[in-house]
Structures are given as structure tokens and as C-alpha cells.
């Protein structure tokens, strides 16, 4: 039975004896693999597991809560306790974590929810606090029975996350602290912030243990914490032992020697720590977030391998063995029990058959909302996926630039059903060319939310089209806006039924363009190539003798989404760095397995099932500070 974790002077106590937290962060894993990954992290030498709780996963629509399957937080906490591990819970409401919107639900951005708009997020604004209180009222009763004070594994709970990097509303932080306590949380409360005086000062709460986050300069960072908190245990709540990747950038790898060296420094200094990450996992579906740097939106890739000690598919890496050796210098380790090998599927090439076009499927998804200007994703009550916009414009004879103002984040554009090209929201001056003949042209735009910003002052941007569409200098008015919820369980069922009903074979013309249509099509997107094909679904079938871990690659394909047996694995994109998608064993079945691919630009050759990951060309940053 677990006992409470206490603070006594500059150290933690458990059962009256000095105690050091050696923890690892854990998130983004198929629930059937929770026990396996916990066993691997215990074998690493950890005595504690830290986990975020993503509000937006549990409450995608306001008032509708889900704690089943992937979201069964109490079950995860119980499994951790059964593995002999303590747990630190970080319930937000904001978590960052390179997770979409930092874990906040998209419905906060819908009209009328926050009268002050996004600028009132993470403040003491009454409307925002009311939403947080409603969430805590649902969440905390599920955590309370598992607190260490009641014999459970949860020894600490975090009050918000890295708030000192965002704002200085002390009343907001105090509201969260008081809300946790008044609802029955009676274990150690902590905050965590970056290693600068202003971050620590603005993110700390009186009476709550402050911790610090960093990846290097150990002595300097711990000294900064001690300057702001003269008495108390020293703890690095996020020791950044690797890093995450953005689309179009190199794959980040931190050398084993560098990561293990800083770990040794932390333990030699007597500090407690939490490895961020110990096991990263996967941004399954559409949950990956984004950053903003110098005005450019930087979406995070599907993988969250993070170059952690335990790899995305459960690999015990060289970093695992180096970390275990370092930890063993500073605390007694349990024997390294044999960790079972994880079966891998054999490699094979998989032909695909072209199915229905996205345009055809979208037209059957229900009524679109009519408005003079395009509606945002949040106005449509949608959090992820695509928005289908349809409008019509008189295109005079000659060439005319078609542009989108307020594009978040990427648009695939069709004119009279044929591909015109793609636009990226980072290229604000980019335009596609419409060659008109004096006739009305039907425009269809599929705008992808590539991940909401999860960190910094630009938190809270709406997705879809926040401005409008122009032909030349003239706004195009009269739009139909329709949500395309790619991760809705019924979406792929609709695609399959459409394909069966249509019976369209490879090479079938599904453009929908009328003969003699009034536009010709040309390129112009500065970042994105002209789409050679209209967005189309492709189907493949993979036969395996028994379930195992596999990795799907799409050589020669452009950009899109992959489903395995109805489960949305995530995104792929030719810009890399990621070249394979992890498909864990629980998603496979013996015999036939169906893969659907929605390709937004250009289909390639056969799919490839591989037996190892390829996360792209690497870089070894001095990261992170």
C-alpha cells in the first residue's frame, strides 16, 4: 500500500525515511500496451511515473465526457500502482506536451463560450474559470480514490504547467490550487517552470512546491530554483533527454553520452527528477500540436518517439541501458528482469486500389452551413480534421490569382472538381491561378487543421479559414462550410459504403467536372506543389499470420492520412522527417487487415509494411536548454 510523500526541509520523506523521486514521463500509448510499457520503465530503474491528463481528449464536446479505452485514467493509475510505481498526475487544465491546443478543448474557442475570446485563456476570467471548474468536478472524483493518502499510487498533483512562460495572473493559479484542495486533493502539490527567475516567480504558488524544467546547465538551473525557493527538495520536473520533431525539419536525436551525463549531474546534486520523456509514444490520429517561430506555424509530426530511453514501439535503446547504469550509481536498483521481445511483422509490399474521391464523400456527409464568408472549424462545432468549403465565382477571361486570407493551416483547392493546387498558411502571399473564360467557376477547398499551437502567447488560434477567399482583389461571397471529421468512428464507414455502392475501380474519373467547364487550371503556390490529383481514398489489404508491431511507409506519396482496420494512425507528409507510421500490435488481427489512405495530392506506388521505424535524417542538437 502506498504512503504519502512528505516534504521535510530540503528532502522528501516516505515512511519517515529520505526519499528521492526518479520518475519518467509517459503518454500516448495504446491501452493494451500500458502494462508492458510500465514494466519496461520499472526495469529502467524508475520508482515513479508522471502522466499528463489532456482535457480535450476527455471532453471533446462540452459536457460529454469519455473515460473509456485510451481515456481510462483510473485503470492506468491502477496498473502503475500494481507495477510498484508511484504516480505524479499533471491534470492541467493546460499541459503543453506538444499536444493539440496544449490539452485545452477546442470548444473553448467557439462563439460565446469565452466572451473575452482566446486572450482570456489561462486567466482568472470568470467564464474560463467556470469551464475549468466544471472539468475538475468531473475529473477529480476519478483520481481521489487513487491518492496515496487513500492507499493509492498518486503521490503528487501539479497545479497548471509552465505558467511562468505564459503569464502572471496569480489569482488564476491560486484558484486552481484552491480548487484542487477543496475537491479533496490532499497529496503534495507542485508547479513546474523554466529555469529563469521570472518564469519561476510568475509560475509559483505560495505553499506549493516549485520544480524546474531544463535539459542542460544543471547547476545553473538548480541554483535558479534555489534562489526562488530557499527551502525545499530540488526537483527537475522535466529533464529534456531528447526532443520532438516538426514536419519539414530534421529528426532530433540527443547523444547517449550527453543525455546520460546530465542525468548523472542531476542525481549527483541530490535532486529528484522526471525524465521527459521516458517513453514518448505516438500522436495518434490528429492530436499532435504545433509551435510558432518567427511567425511560422510548425506542426508536430505523428511520432512522439522523442529519442527516449524506451522507443516509440517499446525498444530498449542504448539510452535505456546508459540511463539504468547511471541510476544504479545513485540508488539501489531491482534486478533487470527479462523484458519480453515484442513481435514484429514481416516486411511486404502492398498494392492499393483507388476508391472514391474526397469530394464525392464530403458531399454526402450532411448539410453544409451557408454564410456570406467561410465559417471557422470552431463555429462548426469541430475540433480536428478538414473543413470543406464550397463557393462559386464569376471568373472573367484571363488569369486571376486566387488567395486565402487567414488560412489555418493548409488548403487543397479544386476548381470545377479538378485539382488547382495547394496553399499553405505560412505563405501569406501565395496564390493559385484561375484562367477564366467568363463563366462561373465552382470552388472546393479542403482546409486541414495541422495542429493547434500548444505553447506560447499565440495559444488559441481558430482553424479553417478565419478571413476569406479572394479572386484578384475581390472577395468571394456565399459559402457552404461542412466539417469533415476524419477521426469520427463513422467517417471511414461512410467511405467504405460509398466505395461499395459506387464500385469505382482504379483509374475511374471521379473529378465531377462538367464538360466544357469555365476554368482552366494552373499552379502558383509558393510552398506547396500543384496537386496532380484530386484528393482520393486508396484501399490496401495486408495479410499477416498473427498480430505484431509494424511500420507503414508510403514511398512516393504526397500528404495525407492512414487508417488501419478503421483506426486513424495519423498523418504522413513527403516533407518528412518521419517516413513510417507506427502500427502497434493491438490494431492488427490475424489474416486480413484493411488499410485506407486519403491522399490529398499525389498517390505513389505500393504501400510498404516494414519491421523497423524510419523517423528520418537526424540532428544532434545541444538541446534543449
- Report, as residue numbers or ranges, the catalytic residues: 162, 238
d(CA 539, CA 248): 27
Contacts of 125 (CB under 8 A, 6+ apart): 114, 116
Contacts of 623 (CB under 8 A, 6+ apart): 215, 240, 243, 252, 254
Choose among 457, 456, 420: nearest CA to 441. 420
Given CA atoms 506, 508, 513, 515 in this order, what sign does their dihedral have?
A: positive
d(CA 385, CA 481): 13
In angstroms, the first-to-last Cα distance of the chain is 38
Strands 272-279, 235-240: parallel, antiparallel or unpaired by DSSP?
parallel
Instruction: Evaluate whether 50 touches 74 at the Cβ level (below 8 Å).
Output: no
**Exposure on the CB side of residue 22, measured as CA atoms within 13 A:** 25
Instruction: Evaluate whether 49 touches 85 at the Cβ level (below 8 Å).
Output: yes
**Exposure on the CB side of residue 544, measured as CA atoms within 13 A:** 26
d(CA 199, CA 221): 12
d(CA 558, CA 538): 13
Burial class (CB in 10 A: 0-12, 13-18, 19+), 533: middle
CB atoms within 10 A of CB 506: 10
Choose among 612, 548, 549: nearest CA to 579. 612
The 8-class DSSP code of residue 590 comes to S
d(CA 476, CA 441): 11
582-593 burial, b at 16+ Cβ within 10 Å, e below that, comes to bbbbebbeeeeb
Strands 474-475, 296-299: parallel, antiparallel or unpaired by DSSP?
unpaired
Choose among 423, 513, 409, 499: nearest CA to 453. 409
d(CA 451, CA 300): 7
How big is the chain by its Cα radius of gyration, in Å? 25
d(CA 40, CA 36): 6
CB atoms within 10 A of CB 604: 16
SS3 268: helix
Amino acid at each position: 500500500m502506498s504512503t504519502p510523500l512528505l516534504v521535510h526541509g530540503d528532502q522528501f520523506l516516505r515512511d519517515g525515511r529520505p526519499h528521492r523521486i526518479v520518475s519518467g514521463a509517459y503518454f500516448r500509448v495504446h491501452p493494451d500496451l500500458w502494462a508492458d510499457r510500465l514494466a519496461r520503465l520499472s526495469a529502467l530503474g524508475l520508482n515513479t511515473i508522471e502522466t499528463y491528463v489532456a482535457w480535450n481528449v476527455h471532453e471533446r464536446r462540452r459536457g460529454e465526457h469519455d473515460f473509456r479505452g485510451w481515456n481510462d485514467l483510473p485503470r492506468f493509475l491502477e496498473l502503475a500502482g500494481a507495477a510498484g510505481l508511484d504516480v505524479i498526475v499533471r491534470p492541467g487544465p493546460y499541459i503543453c506536451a506538444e499536444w493539440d491546443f496544449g490539452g485545452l478543448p477546442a470548444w473553448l474557442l467557439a462563439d460565446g463560450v469565452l466572451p473575452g475570446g482566446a486572450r482570456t485563456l489561462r486567466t482568472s476570467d470568470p467564464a474560463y474559470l467556470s469551464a475549468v471548474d466544471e472539468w475538475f468536478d468531473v475529473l477529480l472524483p476519478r483520481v481521489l480514490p487513487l491518492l496515496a493518502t487513500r492507499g493509492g499510487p498518486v503521490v503528487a498533483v501539479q497545479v497548471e504547467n509552465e505558467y511562468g512562460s505564459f503569464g502572471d495572473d496569480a489569482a488564476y493559479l491560486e484558484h486552481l490550487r484552491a480548487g484542487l484542495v477543496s475537491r479533496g486533493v490532499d497529496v503534495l502539490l507542485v508547479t513546474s517552470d523554466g529555469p529563469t527567475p521570472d518564469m519561476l516567480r510568475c509560475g509559483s504558488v505560495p505553499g506549493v512546491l516549485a520544480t524546474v524544467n531544463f535539459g542542460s546547465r544543471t547547476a545553473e538551473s538548480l541554483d535558479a530554483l534555489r534562489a526562488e525557493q530557499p527551502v525545499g527538495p530540488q526537483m527537475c520536473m522535466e529533464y529534456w533527454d531528447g526532443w520532438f520533431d516538426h514536419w519539414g525539419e530534421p529528426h532530433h536525436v540527443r547523444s547517449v553520452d550527453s543525455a546520460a551525463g546530465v542525468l548523472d549531474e542531476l542525481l549527483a546534486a541530490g535532486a529528484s527528477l522526471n525524465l521527459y520523456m521516458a517513453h514518448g509514444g505516438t500522436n495518434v490520429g490528429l492530436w499532435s500540436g504545433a509551435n510558432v517561430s518567427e511567425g511560422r506555424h510548425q506542426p508536430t509530426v505523428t511520432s512522439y518517439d522523442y529519442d527516449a530511453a524506451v522507443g516509440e514501439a517499446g525498444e530498449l535503446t542504448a539510452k535505456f541501458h546508459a540511463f539504468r547504469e547511471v541510476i544504479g550509481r545513485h540508488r539501489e536498483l531491482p534486478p533487470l528482469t527479462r523484458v519480453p521481445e515484442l513481435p514484429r511483422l514481416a516486411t511486404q509490399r502492398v498494392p492499393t486500389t483507388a476508391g472514391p474521391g474526397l469530394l464525392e464523400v464530403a458531399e454526402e456527409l450532411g448539410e453544409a452551413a451557408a454564410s456570406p464568408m467561410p465559417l471557422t472549424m470552431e463555429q462548426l462545432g469541430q475540433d480536428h480534421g478538414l473543413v470543406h468549403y464550397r463557393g462559386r465565382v464569376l471568373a472573367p477571361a484571363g488569369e486571376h490569382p486566387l488567395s486565402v486570407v487567414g488560412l489555418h493551416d493548409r488548403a487543397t483547392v479544386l476548381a470545377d472538381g479538378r485539382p488547382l493546387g495547394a496553399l499553405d498558411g505560412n505563405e501569406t502571399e501565395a496564390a493559385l491561378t484561375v484562367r477564366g473564360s467568363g463563366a462561373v467557376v465552382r470552388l472546393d477547398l479542403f482546409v486541414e487543421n495541422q495542429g493547434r499551437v500548444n505553447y506560447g502567447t499565440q495559444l488559441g488560434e481558430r482553424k479553417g479559414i478565419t478571413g476569406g477567399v479572394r479572386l484578384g482583389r475581390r472577395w468571394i461571397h456565399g459559402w457552404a462550410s461542412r466539417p469533415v471529421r476524419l477521426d469520427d468512428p463513422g467517417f471511414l464507414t461512410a467511405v467504405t459504403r460509398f466505395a461499395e455502392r459506387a464500385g469505382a475501380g482504379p483509374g475511374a474519373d471521379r473529378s465531377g467536372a462538367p464538360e466544357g467547364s469555365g476554368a482552366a487550371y494552373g499552379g502558383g503556390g509558393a510552398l506547396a506543389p500543384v496537386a496532380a490529383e484530386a484528393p482520393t481514398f486508396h484501399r490496401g489489404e495486408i495479410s499477416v499470420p498473427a498480430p505484431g508491431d509494424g511500420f507503414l511507409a508510403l514511398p512516393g506519396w504526397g500528404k495525407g492520412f492512414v487508417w488501419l482496420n478503421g483506426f486513424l494512425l495519423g498523418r504522413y507528409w513527403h516533407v518528412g522527417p518521419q517516413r513510417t507510421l507506427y502500427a502497434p500490435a493491438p490494431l492488427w488481427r490475424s489474416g486480413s487487415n484493411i488499410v485506407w489512405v486519403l491522399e490529398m495530392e499525389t498517390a505513389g506506388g505500393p504501400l510498404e509494411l516494414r519491421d523497423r521505424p524510419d523517423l528520418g535524417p537526424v540532428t544532434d542538437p545541444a538541446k534543449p536548454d
